[in-house]
Structures are given as C-alpha cells and as structure tokens.
Amino acid sequence: MTKIYPLIICGGNGTRLWPMSRTQSPKQFQRVGDDTSPTFFQSAVSRHSGPVFEKPVVVSSVRHRKTLINQLSEIRADAQIILEPMGRNTGPAVLSAALRLQAQDPDALMLVVPADHVIEGDINATVAAMIEPAKDGHVITFGIKPRYAETGFGYITDGGPIVGHPGLRQVERFVEKPPTRKARLLVESDIAYWASGISMFSVKTIIDEYAKFDAPTFDAVKQAVAKGETTADGFVLDAQSFINAASEPTEVVVFEKTRRIALAPLDIEWSDVGSWTAMYGISESDTQGNVLQGDVVAVETQNSMIRSSKRLVTVVGLSDVIVIDTPDALLVTKVGHCQSVKKIAEHLKAEKRVEAERHVGSIQPWGELNELVSRDHMTLSSMSLNPGALMEMEPSAGRELMVASGVIELVIGDEKATLRQGERMTLTGEAMVHIANPTSQKVELVAMTLTAGQTEDDAVVQLARYA
C-alpha cells in the first residue's frame, strides 16, 4: 500500500499571537493550552501518524533547529528535518521536500500540513480516501465548510464531482480573502469552502508542475538541494542557491494555474488560530465564559481570556477582554480587536525592541536560560543545566559564574575546575568555556556579564551531548 509522508511546514514570524509568540519562537512552538498541553507543532506531528503514514518531513528555519529537535524528543517522534537558510514562503519549502523525497521514494505521496493549526475530527479518513486520486496525478486541496463569513481566509468554490473518484470535486475558482459582503455571498452559495492550507499530491506531480510554471525557482531549489549539507540537526539547503527561489506560496505558483487541481471537502472542526480571539474560541471555558490559564484569579469577570506564564494575574469586573502576561510583556485587548495585535508586534520590530524578537527565557537542549536583568553595561542571567548535560559559552571578559545549587565541572582551554554550591569563578574571556553537569540532579547557575552588547543568549553556542 502506498503511504503518505506528512510535510509539516514551520513558518511564520511570531506577530499575530504576540507576546506569546516572537520572531525566534513563533506560534507553532507554543503550547495550545496550559503547561501540560502539547505545542501546535507537536499536535500536528502526532495527528498524522499511523498505518497510512511514513515518518514526517519537517521544513523550518535553521534558527529553529534546536527547538524542533527538543519538541520531537518530548513526544518521542522522529522526522526528516530540512532547514532553510532563509524563508522563501511555502512554495520552495514544498518543492525542496519533494525533491528530497523523490530521491528516496519516487512514488511518494506528500500531505502538506501547516504546523500551527488546530483540528478536531477524523481528518485522516478523508486523507486516506484521497490516496488513489493523488497517485493518479491530482493536486488535491482540502476545503473546510465555512461556519461564518470570514474575511481573513481564502475560499475555494466547488465545480462539481470528478468522475471515478468519490468525494473528489473540481475547483471552479479560488477567492483570496474577500471583503465582508462577498464573503457572505460565498457562504450563502453553499458551494464555497475555506482554504485550509492542507494539500496532497505525489512528489512527481508537484515537481513536474513547479518546473512547468516557475522554471527559475525550480532550478534554484534543485541546486539548493543538490548542494545542501547533511548535519547532525538536519539537512541544510544551500543558501546561495536557495535565495534565488521566488518567495511565493504553492497556491500561487501551482494550484491556481494547474489543470490537475481538485477539491476534497473535510468534515472537521478547524482553526488557523490567527488571533487571540481565535485562541479564545478554541479553548475550553468555564461557566462564566472565561478561559483562565496559569496562576489567574478572576472576579465578576465574563467572556474573557486571561493567560499567565509565571506570576499571579488578577482581574475584577471585566468582560470580553484578552489579557496575556509573559515575564517581559503584557497584552490587554478587547475580544474582536485582536487582529490589530500584529500592528503592535510590527511597531516593536521597527523600534528594534528585543520583546519582538525573543523571550527573556528560552528552553535549550541542555536546560533553560532566563535573562533576569539587561542593561547597556551589564547582563544578569540564570541557567538550569539538566543532569548529564554539557553546554558551551563563548569567551567574554568580565563574566562571572556562580553555582546556586549543585555541582559543575568546567574546562577552559587546558584548565579544569569543579565548582560547588555557593562557589564562583571569574572567567578570563580567553578561551571557550565548557560547562558540564556530572550529577543526576539539575544544577542552577547565575552568570553576570559586564561587557556591553552581548547577552548570555548570544554567548551560549551549542549543546553537545547528554549523559
């Protein structure tokens, strides 16, 4: 039986769900609910597994490689990882994965899945039913029956059945994010579907169609794959070739032009979670209509979402509000105004504010890093080093390291040292610092750097191993 390779695309720039998502930690790597829930990416990987599926292929930015590996490890999943040196939209991402898969399995089918959507229902039954049409050369896009007139989604209209393939429909036309009146007419027509961003085809079909409609990009991506490098973290596409690929979605390059396009309606609950209002809508609420996540107390408050990542947040006498609290930024907005959150994130980026780029804390393969204080002349950070883990820090004069709990072993050039709880060391800044936790318990460290212009996050280079 022909099997399907899920292709999970991890793009995005972390603006619509700010301050939870940032440029360096976009939405797909954030948890869907509280701290016990999986991330959007993990949900996508887990959803498309089973008898009809092969090991997934994941395409993401090279900057997210450690996060990908960590999150796959958390759910005990394996994947082929393709790393982009720069973002070029979904078209080149899909094409690079198709070229890699074709070399392994010329008859492979690909199911393209966004990494940051929420889906409830048996999507895989419909996907499995589309195996034969995909093998026959159809480019299948999956549509969702619209529940309301949404102006932020694209639409696909039904052109009638395709003979010989039950459940498969012709595509009459694509409609890109219509105005309100047109969206209402589309919903009322009963032949329109939301474009879900999910699609399926054979690797041969998508490669042939891409070469037909955008030969320069096809050549650029083909070279990027041919000259790419296999690393411990994944396959890295060649940057000098990949940058020449046109930054366009697959829908524009192929779907809207090919005669092979077809529509498969899906009977599922679906959301692209493109705003905090959407996040509120997919979350389970209490009897007052509130979604409370984290250390939150709400009094005389209705129909609101309050989310806290660390500290206590209290609200009194509010209705229809969204409050999102992170250690370094607080968002307060009204339900229904959340599409404008993107404007805040874009303003912060224009002002080169660090809050647009990254969180003060980050999860690393070796443990956790939290920036406590950042000034022009000084940075103070705490680090938690997992049992048996090893980390490396760039040399920097004026850095002092203190052990808050546990024991660490340091190697600095030819010198070795052991530090225990309460002990500290001033680092010379002349050689790379290797820090290991030789124990079976977590170690807590505090690092202070007096050199301007560098944070501990810049200093931590990479994690080499686990015990």
Question: Rounded to whole angstroms, what are the CA distances from 249 to 40, 93, 177, 266, 355?
Answer: 21, 9, 15, 22, 28
pTM score of the predicted model: 0.79
Query: Which residues of the chain fall short of a pLDDT of 70?
Result: 1, 14, 363, 451-467
* Residue spans per domain, the chain: 4-271, 277-356, 362-450
Burial class (CB in 10 A: 0-12, 13-18, 19+), 160: exposed
Q: What is the model's pLDDT at position 172?
A: 95
Is 362-450 CATH 2.60.120.10? yes
3-state secondary structure string across 381-405: EEEEECCCCEEEECCCCCEEEEEEE
What pLDDT does 452 receive?
Answer: 52
pLDDT of residue 408: 94
Q: What is the CA radius of gyration of the chain?
A: 24
- What per-residue confidence (pLDDT) applies to 31? 85
Task: Tell me what pLDDT residue 170 has.
Answer: 96
Q: Give the integer Cα–Cα distance in Å for 315 and 313.
A: 7
Q: Tell me, what's the pLDDT at 94?
A: 97
Contact, 56 vs 79, CB < 8 A?
A: yes
The answer to whether 404 and 424 are in contact (CB under 8 A) is no
CATH class of segment(s) 4-271: alpha beta
Q: Please choose, from the candidates 310, 347, 303, 352, the residue with its C-alpha nearest in 3D space to the C-alpha of residue 330.
A: 310
**List of residues 6+ apart from 53 with CB closer than 8 A:** 3, 4, 5, 6, 111
Considering only the C-alpha atoms of the chain, give the largest distance between any 2 of them, rounded to a whole number of Å: 76
Kindly write down the DSSP assignment for every residue of 208-219, as one continuous string: HHHHHH-HHHHH
